[in-house]
Structure 1
């Protein structure tokens, strides 16, 4: 029996919302990966989860001090390491940073005496082999605090992309968004989006059509992962769809991780 459980260690971080959002992301990706792995013997859960997860949370881990304080980065990397371990995975660089983060948090007296007293136990837990899950983890219901006519900027690696929120599906379940046909090296504002057309999607018949995405996981504003940012509200001028054909269906059900592939093709 370990000296401390994952949940006990996470509770010591005193960062309930941050932990919940990371757990939502890890659980969602792990559940998807476990489903895919049943049909693809070459796919590993970690191989699927880690690049997608880090493409999102690197927006904190690699952020400047203006974007995320050092203590927030330390809490984030430690929560990531613990939740990956809880879900049967480790990533060497993340674990190494997490072990250093424990020392940083203690040196700053950033957390409680209970965290300090459990330092060795938390480090020991992270240094034990992670046990693969036997069943898919459960996930929370989708929820969003975005609203129709919001405009958001979304960071992926070295670029930012912008999207317009057309409506909110269900009872505040998820936003239905459309990308502007542009990408930016810095977070855009509305002035940068003036004159930008809608991105659309090109199909096998060669026609580029209106493309909307219903996105699960865009829950909190501001985003604890520092990936998506609200840049304007109450914008009635929608992206220009005049050059696009009619859409195929109402929208595509998606999430922040599936959107990564869409964004990499946006504005190119």
Structure 2
């Protein structure tokens, strides 16, 4: 019997090409304040990761499917927001036709997959299952996380307070707890920006005499000086610190500590080491411009 090669239409490629729209499509709600916002696909990706963090008793695989399906029709109809003055009924109809097109792309390849995605979208829209209710909360919470991160990226210059209005829509106990922690993190960040510690970064080659200069400056002006190497070592032997073992591994194998962790360790140490003048001399950080930019954003 002759083996026939599948045609393009019988493959998943047309569907995968359509998915590229989501990678390029900006989340419309950010465009009022953010010049180059995240894509719809980026939002869906982190929602899928949050689905893996679903509380015990929920079907995590179903949650991931809901995360991937809930905005998939936007690849056909675009990102419809409340500011577009489209009724809920019309929005549902548009997105339903979007899924019909997606199903038509997938049917020659797998007649069940398109319907599976549409069913997942309907489950999310109806919100009757625990998984759908959880992912509804996650959708709102992910937006609030992103808003906080944009506040950091813009050094607090952008007013994104309006997105805090999503909080009442987050209803489950587990997601409310995440919301509380996010609120505490955001408030600490905003307070820190009002009472910023002045950090002087001491950099130079291995023979630049950085330690000697720091000691002289510290004695002359009466401020603390810190060494990033010493900070990493002290945290690596702190048995109460959750990342101590990882830091020990980094030091043992001469691996660069991830920037995010380095900043957290640095912030913790600075908060505990700052004198009344609010100045710190720091050597050994940053190692590159990216680290400096992230420190500026998050501190």
- Shared fold (TM-score, shorter chain, > 0.5): no
Q: Name whichever structure is richer in strand by fraction.
A: 1
Q: Which has the higher contact order (CA 8 A, sep 6+)?
A: 1
Structure-2-length-normalised TM-score = 0.26
Which of the pair has more CA radius of gyration?
2
